Each structure stands twice: as structure tokens, then as C-alpha cells.
Structure 1
Amino acid sequence: MATMHFRGALGLGLVLVCGGLLRADDATIDLARAVVVEPATATAAEKRAVRLLVDDVARRSGVTWPVVQTWPDDAPAVVAVGAYAAVADLAGPRGGAFANLPRSIGPEGYRIHTEPGQGKPAVLVAGVDSRGVLFGAGRLLRELRTSKGRIALPASFQIATSPKYPLRGHQLGYRPKTNSYDAWDLPRWERYIRDLAIFGANAVELLPPRTDDDAYSPHFPLPPMEMMVGMSKLLDDYGLDVWVWYPAMDPDYSKPEAVEAELKQWDEVLSKLPRVDAVFVPGGDPGHTPPKVLMPFLERVAGVLHRSHPKAALWVSPQGFNQEWTDEFVAILKQEPAWLAGVVHGPQVRLSMSDLRKAVPARYPIRAYPDITHNQQCQFPAPDWDLAFSNCEGRESINPRPTQQAAIFKYYQPGTIGSLTYSEGCNDDVNKCVWSALGWDPDADVAEILRQYARAYIDDAQADRFAEGLLGLERNWRGPIATNPSIDKTLNLFRDLENEAGLATRANWRFQQAVYRAYYDAYVRDRRAVEQDQEKQAYDVLRKYSSLGAGAAVEQADAILAKAAAEPFAGPLKARLRALAEDLFLSIGMQLSVPLYDAIGVDRGANLDTIDVPLNDRLWLRARLAELKRNPNEAEQADGVRAIVERTDPGPGGFYDDLGDLARQPHLVRPVDYADDPDFRRSPVVGFGTRAGWPVAWSQNAQIVYDAPVQVHYDGLDPKAAYRVKVVYAGDSFRNKLRLDADGEVVHDWLQKPVNPAPLEFAVPAKATADGSLTLSWRQEPGKGANGRGNQIAEVWLLRNGSR
């Protein structure tokens, strides 16, 4: 069935697609014995596109298509690949309607046309320009159905298309901080760059040798500068844009000697690169220079850049700026400095994308720099994440989030020229392909993108189920882990795929990643259930302190928890996880452990090392029990036990919320849906921050970034009663002050967030509860820069006076 849609001002072309899902009875074109025709006039980049097509078909089918330069009339099938006019000329009368280029196809566009040919079919892949040839070859690879000795294309498939957004790329940082990239050699990088181009990526952002990272990795196959030069050349060979993310990290650019030394270093790096199309300097993260100093320095940088790359553009972001610096930055932009090419919106920018577009002069385009690689403490955290996943899988785990990325894209991309995503490794590989495909066609179906991903990279026979498995991995992370039915369903699906897969598929790193995640999710869920049951047993004993005696209850409860620590849960999935981690290290150098694989740190994707962190209150509870053991006074022990078992009890007429527990936050106000606020500037998300000795409830919180309030709302209060609020301020950021209001009445004024969290109590103004309802609102001091975090509320009790 054919579908058509036309695009508006930014849309450079008509998209016409005939085909879609292939049913068993659908007609196909047999291309197993096809001959590829490459025009004699093909450029070097176009020849590389043809080679990419032929190589990938051979890898997937075992069939190597011969390549010729004239039309072979005796071939069973022909695949012609090249520039539009050249392919039309080669095809001659066989091209039929293909001869006329649709006017709506713009730069980088392509057309794929099939001709039955009286039993000798032809597939014509023609690009408007050299990049169009590359992207047309990539799209054909996404649509081909292949297996050993079999190559087929749905007979109804036709497409004429060009991208909506002119920039579609990804940052590929060769540095120790990543969880895999630092182990890749140039052939691996070429393979990955080709893979990204298959989904329409037209740019890659490189990093210089000096960043906010270690200078050395034990995995480096080449020194960083040599690798950077090699990657720049590779990208140039394929005709793709080269961006450079270059942070300004000197502590003081007001010193002339510092400026000169820095400019010399930048010149040494940039002048060695075969190709540079743009340099992006983040205003912060890393670096922390006020705009009035930074911008004059960047004007000097532009001069240095243009010595070796006269047409290269210089871009800057206001990352990390507080309100004062943001205002200063915008004021400088309004003077419209000629050396500046554009502005980047990325993590840690105070203004939303839409607000930045309004503030920045129209002459400056805006590029999106979305963080697609992190799960928490980031620009777009995983919504409704369970603490068990946060503690075990961490910030940089394997994280396909296809539908969430599509929602982020829809929210974030308008008003920009496109995006170059922020990545710390190949853990976000699925997300990269989703962004590339949506950057080309924002209306593309996400499930179909995933099927294309599976066809291009995994196994055509498993494409539908593998795509469903990726969606399942995303569903695994939504909502409380204990009640999530997706976890078993997804594990069973990937187990079936494992059992059916051949050796090549099982050795495929993308397949290994998905299987690892499916096993990991299930293992964490199983272990959490066991540890929660152990904790329940301990609390059941403690609640019997009156009959058992406080001392005996403490001893018995501690023995239960001690046994849990001495005999940790193993489960049948653990050995498989360790084997998969080894497979991933061998296949792509993925570092899932610090001691085993020399990962730079546990927080950098090494979640094999956090696979057994406690998932209950065992550490906190045993510390409390140890204190009670040291006290021989039975009555005081009883008071201590009672305080433990009744810690969260709000008493008669009171309410308790654990704002980081999705099952225990009934009063939390969420005014905006996820799709309208995926960076959580206006509505709260579960945030995390863990320290040794904290109870679980303090390790999770409700948070909003920057200036909007976190709110809880109560109805059904006694208008005549007096209330007080007890609250714990936790999280991962303690360098700010909070204010609490009750229906506009001040409960406490600006209060420095305690570095060592503890419950704080405040009286609620009677006026606020006089109507039987109450809204509590927490704000942090306005104008904050950096990551904007700090308004993080862990626990809230609303206590009616006279209760405990």
C-alpha cells in the first residue's frame, strides 16, 4: 500500500514510499544473481557508496555482486547505483518514469525505482548528489531481505525522498571516558561510520586529544591525535561532514599568555586534520568562562580555524551558564558578531530549546546536541525508572529507548537545523539510528525503523521479533520493577532468538548487547524480589519486639540480614551475564567491568561491577541494629526498634510519600505529560543520588531542574486541625538553597540544603489548610546554572498535630 506525505518549509522533498511490511505472499524481486552497474563517471565518494552496498550484501548473504560500468543485457537482474542523470542515462528506456527527477527532491535526496523488465528486473538507486547516492544505497540495504544465498526486495518498493533536517550526526569520542570507543581501530571506525550513514547520518563530531578526560587508555590502538586525523580522513572519503567538539578549558582566558598558548595548541590540532567543516565550543561542561571573556577568545579561535580550514564554521553553546551569564551571552549575540556561525543547544542550557530560539537573533541557526547516551543525571533521564535499575545498571548502560527518543525528537528538534547527538559509547546505538532516521523523516514509524535496524545489522529472519525485543527493553524500564510484565516477556523473546540464531548472529555485538540487557533486567528483578523478602522477614521479627523482647528481636533480625549478605543471590542468569560481558569485550572492546576489562570507572557503563549492590535497606538497617546491640538497656532498645518499624508512619490523620518510589507518591503533582516535557523543566521525574548508609528512600527523589516547583497536593484535610510537614532533602546536588511554600504562605524561607540529609520539621500555616486542601511547593534559588539539579525531595510527611 502506497503512502505519501509532503513537507513544508524545512522539508526539502517529497517522500513517496510504496511497500512496507513484507507478508509471506508478497511478490519480491530476486536479486541473488544481480549485477551492479556503477556509472563510469562516478566520483570517489559514489564508488565508496557502491562498495558499501556490495560489501554489506555479501556479509549478510554470502553473495558478492559483480560491479560493471555498462548495462549487462544478459544479467538476470540489475542494480544500478549512482548520480541521478548517470543512472537515468544507463537505464535508458528501461527507466520509464524514472527519467524525470521529482522537483521536490532536494540535496542529499535519492530515488529508488524498480522495473519488472520482462523477467529481468532492475532496481535503480539514484542520488541527487554524491551523498544522495550514499544514502540511497543505505536505504536499499535497510529494505533488502537477505539470508544465506538469498537477496530479495519487495516488488512494490518505491521511494523518492530527501531529508527534512540538513544536519543529522553523532559525536564519536575516542577517549577513555567512553565504554567502548577507546578500543576501536580505524577499520572498526570505518564500519561504524558506514553503519550510521545507512540510516542517513551525514556528520560526525570528533574530539581533540585534550578534553576533560585522561590522556591515556590501555585500550588505545593509536594515539588520540593520530586516530583523530585518520577519522577525519575516513569521513572525508565518504563525503561526510567533520565537526570538532573543542572545549575551552583554561581557567582564565583574560590572561594574554593563556590565550596565546591555547591558540597555539588549537592550531596544532586543527591544522593536522584533513577535513573540518565546523568547530563547536561548549560554554561549559567542561570549561567555565564568562561570555564577556569567552566570546572575544572565540573570535581569535575563528581566525586560527580559518588558517587551515577557510570555510569551516565556529559554533558555541551557553552550556552551564547561570541566568546572569545567559543574559550576557544573549546580549553579545544581539550585536551579531560576524565570526560566529551558529548556536548549539545541549545539556545544561538554562533556556529551553524554544526559548533559546526566541532569544537568539534569526541570523544564527541553532543545532541540537541531545544527550542520548545517559539514563539518569542527564538532559533527558529515563522516565519512571526504578531505583533497582538506577543502582545496578547505572548512568551509561545499554539503553535502547526508541519511542522515548522519538518523543524527545518531536519536542526538541523544531526550530533547529538538525542535531549532532552527544554519545559516550555504542551503548546508545539504537538511539543513534532512531535520531538519524527521524532527522531524515520525522514522520517515520519507529517500529519500522527498528525492523530496518534489525534487517541491516542483525538477521532478516529475526527482524520483526528483534525489533519487538528492542521495544520490550524500553518497556522493561517503565514503572515499578516488581510488577513489570515486560521483563519476563522480553527475556523469553531474546532467549528464543538466541536459540535460533546462527554463529554469526550470536557473535554480532548488537545482538549481544540486546541479549545482555534482557538478562540483566531479569536478574535485577529476581534479586530484588529475594532481597525485599529478606527485608520483610527482618521487619516482621522486629515488629514482634514486645513479645520477643527488643534484644532478641534485634538479634534475630540482624541474623536474617547477615545471612543475606553472607549468601548473596546468584540466580541462573548471572553466569550468562558474565559470559555475555566477555563476548562484548572480545567483539567490540566493550568494558563492562573495571577489574576485568579496564573500564575507566564503574559509573562509565561498567555495570557488571554493580550487579550485586544491595536492593533493600540492609545496610542502613544493620547499622541501626548495630547501634541498638551496643545499648544494654532493654527499654531504650525497644524505643529504638519502634522508631525503626514506625519510621514512615504519619500517624492518625497524616500522610506519607516516598517521592522517589513510583508506588508511594500519591500526592505528587505532575502537571505536564512526558512528551511535552522530556527534560523535566516543568514536571517532576524520579531522580537518584546514593550514599553509603542512606535508607533506600533517601536514594530516590522527585526532582525538577532549574526554577519550576516540585509540588505535592492533599485533599480531605481537617480545616480545624493544625498540621506540620516533615521532609527529607536528598539527591545528588547540595550546593543550593530551597524554599517551601504552602498555598503561597512561607513554610520556610531559603534554607541551605543539608549536606547530611535528615528529616526536618516545620509548621504549616493554618491559613493554608483552612479550606481542607493543601499544596506544598518547593523551589530552589532561581537563576541556577550548571545541570540545574538540586530541587530534589525524597520523603514528605504531612503530620496532624497530636500524632506521632
Structure 2
Amino acid sequence: MIVRFITSLILITLAFRLSAQPIDLKNSVILVSPSIPAPMRSTAPQMLTEEIAKRTATSLKQTTSWPSGSVIVLALSSDKEVAGKTVPARTGFNLPEQKPEGYRIVTEATAKGTTVWVLGADARGILFGSGWLLRNLKMDNKRLELSSPIEVATAPAYPIRGHQLGYRTTANSYDAWTVAQFDQYYRELAIFGTNAIEGIPFHEKEKASPHFPISTDEMMVRMGELCQKYDMDYWVWTPAEFDLTDQARRSAEVQKHEAFYKACPRLDHIFFPGGDPGHNHPREVMAFLKDLHGKLMPYHPKAKIWISLQGFNTEQIDYFYRYLAEHKPTWLQGVVSGPSSPPMAETRYRLPKNYQHREYPDLTHNVRSEFPVERWDQAYALTLGREAINPRPVFFAGIHGKYAPFTDGFVSYSDGCHDDVNKVIWSMRGWDPTREVNEILNEYARFFFSWQVEKSAADGILALENNWKGPLASNGGVEATFAFWKTLETAHPALMKSNWRWQMLVLRAYYDTYTRRRLVYEQGLEKNANSILAQATESNLENALNQALAMVNKADSEPVSPELRKKIETLCADLFASIGLQTSVAKYKAKGYERGAFLDFVNFPLNNRWWLADEFKKIRAMKTPKEQLERTRVIATWENPGAGSYYDDVSTASKSPRVKTITDDATDIAWWDNGFSRTRLSTQTFQNNPALEYDNLEPGARYIIRVAGLGDALLRVDGQRLKPTVYNKEMEAFKEWIVPLSLTQDGKISVTFDEPEESHLNWRQHSKISDIWLLKQ
């Protein structure tokens, strides 16, 4: 019995080891079922062959008959046999490989080799099944293998999974791409589950980018051809930035649309944003869209029209839903929710069930956006800016999970390849919302970098996201992340030389570290300068001003870590050469400083040296030495008002311990003078109506609240509205209130602000609060 048991155990162990052995596909061939519709019958094997050849130096041959060795078979799930061999079918209902875009991958071992079946429900199933295979193969010059036998079947959770790739001047990279580069990017997005691409055929057409390799008209048609090649839905975003009651312009716009429809080899969806841009009432919009549908049908009879309610007020939103109830337009496919749209839950609730609901998430911006980096350190906001390289996988997985259940999917807003990781997260979570972020990043790194580095690179991407959490000066993880990426950089020189995704991630590691080192250094210089100013007297004031300014200007004359700055410049040059990433207005002709031009801000002051230089000029112009010294004292003690007093820079996390509110729309990072504002750094961050809590106050002591900002500040203490004793509305001028003694007897107070009535103003002109002091007298 014992011998028999041991023998059985050995056989079981041997069988397990054999089943767990990698499957070698280096000498395999590709066999394609003739039932797969064109063009996928050629697109999928071409994609497999070319992507494998890039990573293995092996070009797999294609055959029409069953080979003697290993084979990768592409077939439809409905096929009974391919080249005389029976397709491994399953019985049952609701199988993933029978659903739209679904696929099943199964391996079969034979004496002569292994068969890898890629069985798609349809053409897209073949595409996405091939993508799964590419993401999971272990590839290098010595191997092409699967880690073990496979049995996988899956179908997408959401039918719409797309990204906007705007070939326009505004983009920070797409406007420099050739058709071949778009082809490659389409392919790579498809490998990770994307099934839709959105173009922008008309917006800003008159402003040609200096980087365009071909005209917008030609590229829009070619993008449609690429969608046809990869069987992706082709969406186009087509706003009307004029008054639709202008019949001449309206007629010209309809004709322009019709010419585009006629030229496009494929067109599936027309997306019209109600606002952002555009200011037309839905009464005109719906009539206009109905006319467009009439022009669309002769050329693309299955295409549909979509609208967003962006920018619509309550009356206009109500009108839209009344229109749907009364007219029941069959030409309308659905509603798109984007920035400034009504809440997505409300939209899905009010929208009749026969209409679809699509999200338009902003994956590309970091501030002044739909999904800003929460409490982003000001040093990042002022240097990396709105369109920096921004892998935010954990954050965006959470955003997708929050809003996707109200939708049928998404087509994201993107203005460049800097958000590449975010696109992949959305595409993969759109396919399977339960996929772990780590799993997605491992596949991302395995495919784009190599299996040898997949876990390290995935961890490195997560570390870059963590670089943006909390106050930068106290985030020691930034240096650890830098050391991690430096090790990877040294170990993989080939990736540094030619892989733009790798270069972007390494660049972020350098930029984050350089910014943190500058922040710590430059803030230290300012503290020293303030000490000099605090000791100034009327007799030595001029000398103190000169010494203080020389101290803060060491940031320029004796800069920290110049070698990091040089590396940043080199990587920016490499990325412009490889992928057209425009990180500078002057050097690389970025459209504007908000459009990814973070190289132009790499040395933006992280102390107040520009502001101090301007303030010192004002001090010297004052009439009396007493006035000069008083203003100098205010500057010297701005952030350190003395014992028993408190200061908060309300939107800077490291300097606002008493602030309990955070903004959720990132309008608290100002954008003045094209990002080169000389105002005090604290002035460039703000909240509209902050709330603060103070404790450990001295009962019986007199306190004054001082506020700096712009416009109105309607202050309450413990819910009681106070009247100001000083009330200047200019920027960086002060407002002051005396706190009644009765409110401080318990040793604590709460400070809040009422919202001024400013609905008639643009949000950029709303009142702002940047600095708050509680000054013990």
C-alpha cells in the first residue's frame, strides 16, 4: 500500500510539473480561419507577427494547412473545424466567447507540439483575444512562451471603451504624429481592450499646427481608415462654436459635415458637445443634429448622433428631456457626460432607457480639470502644470468604479500620450471592472518593456503616483522612487534609448526629485532671508533688503542638483524626437504654456524671490523710513506671525494645518501671466470659502483675523457674521476683523465664509482667499 501510494504521488507530482511547464511557441506558425471577416482576417495575424518579431527577432510564418508542430489558431467560436481539425467547443448558455467581442483562449498539447486556440465571438473577439495573447506571452531573443497551459474565456463588461486622439494644435503630441504612429497607437490601445477612437475634424481647423505632417482633412480620413483596419468604432467630436440661428453659417456647417461624411471610409458616431465649447440652446441644437443625421445616413446608415449637456442650465436641461419625451428621436443614440455636465446618476435616471449614456472622462489634466490631483503640492502645480506625464492608476481605477455603473462605457478626453497609463487602466477596467491595478500594470510593463522588468516597472509606476500624495517637502518617498528608477535606468539601457513610455516614466522620476530638492533648498533660503529682514532697522534697511534678496537669489546663482536639470532637458529632447512631445513653447513649439510645457517651468521659483524683488522696489518708493520698516516687518513675519498667533496658506497642504476644507475642482491653482506670475506663491493658491478650526486659544486674549485674497470675504466666527475693520479687495491687500472676547472664552473658534453672489462672473473672476492669520494682540 505504501509503495503504491508513493508511486501514485510521484506520478501526480510529475503530471503537475509537466502541466506547469512553459509552452514554447518560438517555432510555431499562425493559422487563420477563412471564416473570420475581412479585414480582421489579415489585421490580427499581422499584429501578432509584427509585435512578436519586435520582441523576439522571430517572424512567425502563416500557413493555410495544419502544421506538424506548434500552432496559434485564430478562429471564430462558431467554427466547427479549421484545416480539418475540430475546434474545441463548449456547451452552455451565456458563454463569454459567444458574447459580442468575447473570446476564449485554450491550449491543447499533442505529441508534436501545442495548439493555442484564439476563439473570438466575432472579428473584435479575434482582435482582443490576440491582444490577450500578446500581453501574456513571455518574449525576448531567446524565448516565446506561455507560462503554462491556458483556459481563459472573457467578454467586456462595458460595450464602449474608447479614447479621443485629437489631431489638432491643442494636443501636446498627437499633432506631430504620422499615420504610421497613429496606426501603432491604435494597435496598442486595441491590445489593451480599446474598441473606439474619437477624432476632431473641425475644431480649430484654421489654426494649423507647425508639427502637422499632413493636413487635418487628410488625417481625419486616414484615422477612419485605421478604425476600419482594427474594426474600431470611429467617433468624431464636432462642436458648433457659433450661433446656430445664423442660417448662413448653419448651412455652411451642414455642408462641411456632409463633405466629411462622404470622405470617411468609416464613421460610427457623431458627438456634439452642448457646451464647452458652444452656447446654443438645445432648441437649435436638436434641430441642427436632426439635419446632420439626414446628411449622415446616405453614407453611413448605421451611424448615430450623440449629445452632451455640458454647459446647459436647468431650463435648457429640462427642455432637452421634454424634447425626448415629445419627439422620441430615433436618430439620437444617447447622451455623453463630461465636465460641467449634470451628475451622471441624475442623467441616467432622467434619460429614457432606450438611449445610451457615455462618459467623457478627462484623463489628461492634473489641475483646472474634472479630476484634479487632490491637494496637489503647489510646487508640482506650478512646475509640472496641467498636462504633465501623469500615471494615476489607482486614482483612475477608483474614478472608473465610481461612475461607470451609470454608463454604457466611455470615450476619454486626452490631449497627448502623456496619459498613456491612464488610458490603459480605463480600457482594461472597462473590460473587467474587477481587474486589480497591479495586474493591469504588470501586463502593461510586460508588453511595453519586457517580462524581466514587469514587476519592477509596475511598482515604479505606482511609486510615481505616490510622489504626488501629500506635502512634497516631507515626502521622502520621492527620493526612494528616484533611486528605484535610477537602478532600472542603469539596468536597461536599451529601453532608455528607444522606448518613449520608459523615457516618460524616468523623466517624471527625475523631475519630481529635482522639484523636491529645489523646494527644500529654496524655501530654506527664504527663511534665512526673512531672518535678515526681521533684524532690520531704519538705519540698515537698505543693506538688509540687499542681503535678503541676494540670499533668495542663490536659487539662481547657486542652483541645487544641476545634473538633474540637464538630464530632464535631455529626456525632453528625446521625447520630442521620438513621439513629438512638446514640453516647451520656445524649444518645441507647444501651443501654450498650459499644454504640457513643463520644461519651461522646470526652474520656476519655489520661493518668493520674484515677489520680494518687486516688493522691495515698492518699499524703497515709500515716503518715510517708518513706513518702509513696517512693510518690511510684515514681509518678514508673513508666515511666522509670532507666539500665540497662527498662519495658514489655505491651499498648501504643508502650511494649512487648521484648514478643514479642500477644493474638488482644482480651481485653487491660479493661472496668471501664462503661468509666470510674480505674485507671492501663497497668492497663487486659494479657496473660495475655506473653513478653519482653532483651539488652544488663550481665554481673555484679544485676537484679530486677517485675510489676504481677492474680492470679497464674508467671514463668520462660530456662525456669527462679523463686520470688518479693514476691507481691501485688491490682491494681496488685507481685510481684518476683531474677534469678540465672548467667542474665545472656551479656547477655540471655527471660521467660515459665506459665498458672495457672483453667478454673473466667470469662475476665474470669483473672490479668492489665499492667506489667513489669527493674530494675538
TM-score by length of 1: 0.87
The corresponding residue for 1:676 is none
Aligned match for 2:598, one of 607, 624, 640 = 607
The corresponding residue for 2:736 is 761
Name the CA shift for 1:347/1:113 in 2 (closer, same or farther; >3 Å). same
Question: Following superposition of structure 1 onto structure 2, how do residues 303-702 of structure 1 map, counting pairs within 5 Å?
Answer: 303-335=294-326, 337-338=328-329, 339-349=331-341, 351-503=342-494, 506-546=497-537, 549-569=540-560, 571-631=562-622, 633-649=624-640, 654-670=645-661, 680=664, 687-690=669-672, 692-702=677-687
| Helix, strand or coil at the partner of 2:107 | strand
**1:139-169 deviations in whole A, cap 9, x for unaligned?**
1111111111311112143311000000000
Q: CA deviation at 1:253?
A: 1.4
The farther-off stretch of 530-539 and 334-343 is 334-343
In the alignment, is the contact (CA less than 8 A) between 2:64 and 2:83 conserved in 1? no
Aligned match for 2:694, one of 699, 714, 721 = 714
The corresponding residue for 2:13 is none
Q: Which amino acid aligns with 1:285?
A: D
1:57 aligns with 2:37: no
| Helix, strand or coil at the partner of 1:216 | coil
Q: CA deviation at 1:685?
A: 8.5
1:135 aligns with 2:128: yes
CA distance in structure 2 between the aligned counterparts of 1:654 and 1:293, rounded to whole angstroms: 58
1:774 aligns with 2:766: no
Aligned match for 2:138, one of 123, 141, 145 = 145
The corresponding residue for 2:8 is none
**1:221-259 deviations in whole A, cap 9, x for unaligned?**
111000100110110122110111001111x21232232
The farther-off stretch of 45-54 and 197-206 is 45-54
RMSD: 3.1
The corresponding residue for 1:236 is 228
In the alignment, is the contact (CA less than 8 A) between 1:385 and 1:686 conserved in 2? no
1:42 aligns with 2:26: no
Q: Which amino acid aligns with 1:38?
A: V
CA distance in structure 1 between the aligned counterparts of 2:399 and 2:172, rounded to whole angstroms: 24
Q: CA deviation at 1:605?
A: 0.8
| Helix, strand or coil at the partner of 1:136 | helix
Q: Which amino acid aligns with 1:198?
A: I
> How many matched pairs?
752
Name the CA shift for 1:54/1:298 in 2 (closer, same or farther; >3 Å). same
| Helix, strand or coil at the partner of 2:507 | helix
Aligned match for 2:62, one of 57, 61, 67 = 67
In the alignment, is the contact (CA less than 8 A) between 1:109 and 1:160 conserved in 2? yes
1:158 aligns with 2:151: yes
CA distance in structure 1 between the aligned counterparts of 2:80 and 2:448, rounded to whole angstroms: 27
The corresponding residue for 2:109 is 116
In the alignment, is the contact (CA less than 8 A) between 2:163 and 2:197 conserved in 1? yes
| Helix, strand or coil at the partner of 1:414 | helix
In the alignment, is the contact (CA less than 8 A) between 2:708 and 2:731 conserved in 1? no
1:190 aligns with 2:183: yes
CA distance in structure 2 between the aligned counterparts of 1:717 and 1:277, rounded to whole angstroms: 65
| Helix, strand or coil at the partner of 1:315 | strand
Q: CA deviation at 1:181?
A: 0.5
CA distance in structure 1 between the aligned counterparts of 2:448 and 2:577, rounded to whole angstroms: 18
TM-score by length of 2: 0.90
CA distance in structure 2 between the aligned counterparts of 1:526 and 1:288, rounded to whole angstroms: 46
1:180 aligns with 2:160: no
Q: CA deviation at 1:761?
A: 2.8
CA distance in structure 2 between the aligned counterparts of 1:453 and 1:239, rounded to whole angstroms: 22
In the alignment, is the contact (CA less than 8 A) between 2:525 and 2:554 conserved in 1? no
Q: CA deviation at 1:369?
A: 0.2
CA distance in structure 2 between the aligned counterparts of 1:766 and 1:539, rounded to whole angstroms: 32
1:793 aligns with 2:773: no
1:727 aligns with 2:707: yes
In the alignment, is the contact (CA less than 8 A) between 1:578 and 1:608 conserved in 2? yes
Aligned match for 1:221, one of 213, 224, 233 = 213
Unaligned runs of 5+ in 1: 1-22, 672-678, 704-708
In the alignment, is the contact (CA less than 8 A) between 1:741 and 1:748 conserved in 2? no
The farther-off stretch of 755-764 and 214-223 is 755-764
Unaligned runs of 5+ in 2: 1-16
Aligned match for 2:252, one of 251, 261, 274 = 261
CA distance in structure 2 between the aligned counterparts of 1:539 and 1:763, rounded to whole angstroms: 27
The farther-off stretch of 283-292 and 141-150 is 283-292
Q: CA deviation at 1:513?
A: 1.0
Q: CA deviation at 1:591?
A: 1.4
Q: CA deviation at 1:276?
A: 1.2
Identity %: 37
Q: CA deviation at 1:87?
A: 7.2
In the alignment, is the contact (CA less than 8 A) between 2:31 and 2:64 conserved in 1? yes
Q: CA deviation at 1:67?
A: 1.1
Name the CA shift for 1:272/1:740 in 2 (closer, same or farther; >3 Å). farther
Name the CA shift for 1:388/1:30 in 2 (closer, same or farther; >3 Å). same
In the alignment, is the contact (CA less than 8 A) between 2:348 and 2:406 conserved in 1? yes
CA distance in structure 1 between the aligned counterparts of 2:457 and 2:463, rounded to whole angstroms: 9
| Helix, strand or coil at the partner of 2:380 | helix
| Helix, strand or coil at the partner of 1:701 | coil
In the alignment, is the contact (CA less than 8 A) between 1:126 and 1:136 conserved in 2? yes
CA distance in structure 1 between the aligned counterparts of 2:759 and 2:20, rounded to whole angstroms: 59
The farther-off stretch of 397-406 and 322-331 is 322-331
Name the CA shift for 1:622/1:506 in 2 (closer, same or farther; >3 Å). same
**1:438-472 deviations in whole A, cap 9, x for unaligned?**
00000101111111111111222111111111111
CA distance in structure 1 between the aligned counterparts of 2:487 and 2:85, rounded to whole angstroms: 48
| Helix, strand or coil at the partner of 1:275 | coil
Name the CA shift for 1:611/1:756 in 2 (closer, same or farther; >3 Å). same
Name the CA shift for 1:214/1:466 in 2 (closer, same or farther; >3 Å). farther
In the alignment, is the contact (CA less than 8 A) between 1:114 and 1:155 conserved in 2? no
| Helix, strand or coil at the partner of 1:217 | coil
Name the CA shift for 1:715/1:361 in 2 (closer, same or farther; >3 Å). farther
Q: Which amino acid aligns with 2:527?
A: K
| Helix, strand or coil at the partner of 1:481 | coil
Q: CA deviation at 1:29?
A: 0.8
Name the CA shift for 1:630/1:789 in 2 (closer, same or farther; >3 Å). closer
CA distance in structure 1 between the aligned counterparts of 2:489 and 2:114, rounded to whole angstroms: 36
Q: CA deviation at 1:60?
A: 1.0
| Helix, strand or coil at the partner of 2:79 | helix
| Helix, strand or coil at the partner of 1:498 | helix
CA distance in structure 1 between the aligned counterparts of 2:460 and 2:539, rounded to whole angstroms: 50
